[in-house]
């Protein structure tokens, strides 16, 4: 597969023009190994397009070559003089292990830009950093900077199935067409798109991909055994871009695939089966990443059937993977999805903490507990999951959802990086304490760094993500996983500058401004016209698109708002509710418990209040609902107009413009529907008229 073939798929944030600055220079690639080959191929291709050159690093002449950019392993014997200087300085400043497995140092002096890495993966990431910097990487002096990822694994989970599900389609919660891996029940014959995907992921820092749905059905279960060849081929396609492949496995595989009578994690024959099966996986794919498991959750089998704990289950798989350096991502998304809505003592938000907090310290070092960032399920607004602060002796992965299941399904513009950034910067122990990003990055004392994971949003759609602007979410996830403190607005700038600006013929500043106006606050715009004040859901059951205020109110799923004629919200206090607030450490256990201190945006998540309850901004709850819903829909109308004005100016390709326009038409229709249903609902329940006399149906 050649680079032009990869770009042909749909270049997204790696159009050829983004390589112009590199491609017009003399570039020395001085490194060995397969990933170094990828770096070389990229550079050779760029130089072929823009007139640059890639001199051969003949070792005894390396020092004398006149080049503009050096990409080299710091272990290479002979480096150009300026790279030697940078190496010496990096050593003095950062010590011998300056870069680690994936980091790099970057500097520019005497007109030469230097990227040095200890391992080839670092060179790959360094190359993409130079791509991001464009012209500004060259010429003016730049002191030695070190770049290292904050997290060990920056992982994308695919919820792809081999077969097409009659209701969910092929990709569960997928809004961008079919799977990029499978078609018609078989692995795709041409994996160019997979390789192109790996290239895009590497450019934003992702290094791991779980290829199949966490709900592992019969066909996908066999990826572990007789369909392992599919995984081999995917791993081969992604490896050149430094991405390891992981597999979702079914906990009951020893029964379904191994013919054993049990899947009890403490049964010797079961443990042996996993050990043997895992050995074979690693014999076939030596750099295989590991397993991902959804157990005892929404109908998936798990250790509870045998009276065993989730630590028993996770450790069994961790033991099987340990000899090969593999890991197990064990999901904490465990709750009773068959609860009785009449039962007010069961609170789904409590479930993960209740199941997992008591198990702290009992997981193996290579078992990673994967926790959704909120206690419920990827709603537009949730508090932090208290699980993240509750297991100091356990390695954690925090899971985000890039695929917009509850945030507009890639028909609505909803740039999610501000939400993730807020989560990563949140301090579970209050001011002065560690952030979520610190918890993930540091890991427990014994286990090493943790991971950031996201459920992906791509498919075989020509624009990868259905809504072309939803590409920004995938890009931003990778960048935040690499450097969690990066400002989401700056990430959006990067994405715009890579994706659109290099090929735009008009005024790039206008394009940049318009996209920021459309996207910077699109998350809170979405929040404004959907479920209010943190209460969540109110979506159509099953597919989760569009408004249905009572859709889940009398169902077994544990997602209720309890609206009546007097008020709305879920009482999760210790004083009178489910006691969920007690799962947080102070100060949050008290802040959330207190009606006066609880942040407005989470009020209805923690409290049931009368419609006349006054928020911190002086508005009542019901007036806030009306105001935000009118405003949210208005903002969408403005967004749509902004985009229309970009038509025909050479700033974005016509097909892309048309696709976004079509999505914005739908977003506006949907936002107005949300506005009218939610407002009508609360007006009819409460009888309170809108203070501004606007039309409520």
Query: Contact positions toward ligand GCU, by CB under 6 A?
Result: 172-173, 214-215, 294, 298, 333, 377, 405
Q: Whose Cβ is closer to ligand GCU: residue 74's or residue 297's?
A: 297
Burial degree of 666 (CB within 10 A; 0-12, 13-18, 19+):
middle
Q: Whose Cβ is closer to ligand GCU: residue 370's or residue 465's?
A: 370
Q: CA-to-CA distance for 630 and 641, rounded, in angstroms?
A: 17
Q: How many CB atoms lie within 10 A of CB 109?
A: 17
- Minimum distance, C-beta of residue 157 to ligand GCU, in the bound complex (Å): 9
- Minimum distance, C-beta of residue 456 to ligand GCU, in the bound complex (Å): 13
Q: CA-to-CA distance for 502 and 46, rounded, in angstroms?
A: 14
561 contacts 570 by C-beta, under 8 angstroms: yes
Reading the block at residue 428, the tokens are 């579970």
Q: Whose Cβ is closer to ligand GCU: residue 333's or residue 626's?
A: 333
> Could you identify the residue written with the tokens 């039962």?
343
- Minimum distance, C-beta of residue 342 to ligand GCU, in the bound complex (Å): 22
- Minimum distance, C-beta of residue 254 to ligand GCU, in the bound complex (Å): 22
Reading the block at residue 533, the tokens are 């004040």
- Minimum distance, C-beta of residue 630 to ligand GCU, in the bound complex (Å): 29
Q: What is the three-state SS of 603-623?
A: HHHHCCEECCCECCCCCEHHH
177 contacts 160 by C-beta, under 8 angstroms: no
Burial profile 327-343: b = 16 or more Cβ within 10 angstroms, e = fewer: bbbbbbbbbeeebeeee
For CA atoms 535, 540, 545, 546, the dihedral sign is negative
Q: Whose Cβ is closer to ligand GCU: residue 530's or residue 679's?
A: 530
Strands 567-568 and 609-610, bridge-based pairing: antiparallel
> What is the set of active-site residues?
298, 377, 405
**Coil vs helix vs strand at 137:** helix
Q: CA-to-CA distance for 209 and 403, rounded, in angstroms?
A: 15
Q: CA-to-CA distance for 459 and 373, rounded, in angstroms?
A: 24
383 contacts 589 by C-beta, under 8 angstroms: no
- Minimum distance, C-beta of residue 163 to ligand GCU, in the bound complex (Å): 16
Q: Whose Cβ is closer to ligand GCU: residue 298's or residue 550's?
A: 298
Q: CA-to-CA distance for 20 and 3, rounded, in angstroms?
A: 15
Q: Whose Cβ is closer to ligand GCU: residue 537's or residue 681's?
A: 537
- Minimum distance, C-beta of residue 571 to ligand GCU, in the bound complex (Å): 23
Q: Whose Cβ is closer to ligand GCU: residue 119's or residue 405's?
A: 405
């Amino acid at each position: 597969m050649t680079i032009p073939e990869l770009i042909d798929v749909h270049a997204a944030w790696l159009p050829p023009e983004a390589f112009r600055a590199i491609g017009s220079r003399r570039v020395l690639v001085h490194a060995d190994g397969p990933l170094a080959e990828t770096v070389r191929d990229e550079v050779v291709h760029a130089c072929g397009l823009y007139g640059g050159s890639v001199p051969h690093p003949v070792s005894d002449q390396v020092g004398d070559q006149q080049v503009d950019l050096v990409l080299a392993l710091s272990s290479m014997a002979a480096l150009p003089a300026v790279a030697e200087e940078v190496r010496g300085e990096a050593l003095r400043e950062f010590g011998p292990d300056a870069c680690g497995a994936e980091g790099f140092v970057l500097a520019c002096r005497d007109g030469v830009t230097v990227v040095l890495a200890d391992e080839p993966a670092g060179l790959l990431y360094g190359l993409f950093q130079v791509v991001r910097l464009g012209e500004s990487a060259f010429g003016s002096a730049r002191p030695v900077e070190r770049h290292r990822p904050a997290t060990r694994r920056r992982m994308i989970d695919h919820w792809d199935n081999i077969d097409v599900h009659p209701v969910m389609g092929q990709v569960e919660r997928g809004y961008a067409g079919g799977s990029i891996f499978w078609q018609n029940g078989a692995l795709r014959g041409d994996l160019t798109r997979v390789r192109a995907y790996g290239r895009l992921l590497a450019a934003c820092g992702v290094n791991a991909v779980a290829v199949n749905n966490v709900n592992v059905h019969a066909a996908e279960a066999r990826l572990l055994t007789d369909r392992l060849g599919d995984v081999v081929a995917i791993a081969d396609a992604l490896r050149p871009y430094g991405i390891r492949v992981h597999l979702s496995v079914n906990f009951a595989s020893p029964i379904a695939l191994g013919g054993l009578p049990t899947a009890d994690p403490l049964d010797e024959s079961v443990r042996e089966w996993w050990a043997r099966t895992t050995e074979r996986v690693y014999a076939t794919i030596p750099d295989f990443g590991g397993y991902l498991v959804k157990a005892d959750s929404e109908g998936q089998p798990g250790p509870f059937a045998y009276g065993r704990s989730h630590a028993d289950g996770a450790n069994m798989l961790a033991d099987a993977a340990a000899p090969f350096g593999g890991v197990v991502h064990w999901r904490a998304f465990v709750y009773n999805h068959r609860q009785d809505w009449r039962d007010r003592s069961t609170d789904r938000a409590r479930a993960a903490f209740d199941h997992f907090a008591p198990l702290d310290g009992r997981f193996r070092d290579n078992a990673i507990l994967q926790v959704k960032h909120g206690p419920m399920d990827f709603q537009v607004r949730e508090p932090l999951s208290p699980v993240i602060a509750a297991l100091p002796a356990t390695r954690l992965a925090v899971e985000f959802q890039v695929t917009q299941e509850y945030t507009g399904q890639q028909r609505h513009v909803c740039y999610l990086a501000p939400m993730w950034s807020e989560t990563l910067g949140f301090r579970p122990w209050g001011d002065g304490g560690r952030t979520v990003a610190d918890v993930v990055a540091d890991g427990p004392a014994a286990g090493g760094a943790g991971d950031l994971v996201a459920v992906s949003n791509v498919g075989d759609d020509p624009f990868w993500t259905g809504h072309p602007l939803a590409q920004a979410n995938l890009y931003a996830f990778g960048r935040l996983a690499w450097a969690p403190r990066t400002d989401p607005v700056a990430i959006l700038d990067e994405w715009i500058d890579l994706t659109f600006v290099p090929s735009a013929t008009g005024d790039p500043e206008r394009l940049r401004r318009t996209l920021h106006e459309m996207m910077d606050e699109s998350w809170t715009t979405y929040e404004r016209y959907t479920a209010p004040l943190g209460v969540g859901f109110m979506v159509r059951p099953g597919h989760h698109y569009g408004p249905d205020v009572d859709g889940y109110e009398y169902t077994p799923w544990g997602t209720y708002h309890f609206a009546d004629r007097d008020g709305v919200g879920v009482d999760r206090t210790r004083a009178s509710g489910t006691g969920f607030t007690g799962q947080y450490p102070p100060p949050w256990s008290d802040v959330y418990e207190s009606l006066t201190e609880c942040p407005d945006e989470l009020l209805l998540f923690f409290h049931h209040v009368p419609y006349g309850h006054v928020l911190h901004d002086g508005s009542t709850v019901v007036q806030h609902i009306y105001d935000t819903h009118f405003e949210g829909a208005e903002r969408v109308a403005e967004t749509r107009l902004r985009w229309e004005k970009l038509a025909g100016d050479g700033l974005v390709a016509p097909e892309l413009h048309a696709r976004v326009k079509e999505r914005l038409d739908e977003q506006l229709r949907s936002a107005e529907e949300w506005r009218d249903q939610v407002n009508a609902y609360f007006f009819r329940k409460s009888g309170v008229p809108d203070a501004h006399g606007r039309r409520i149906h």
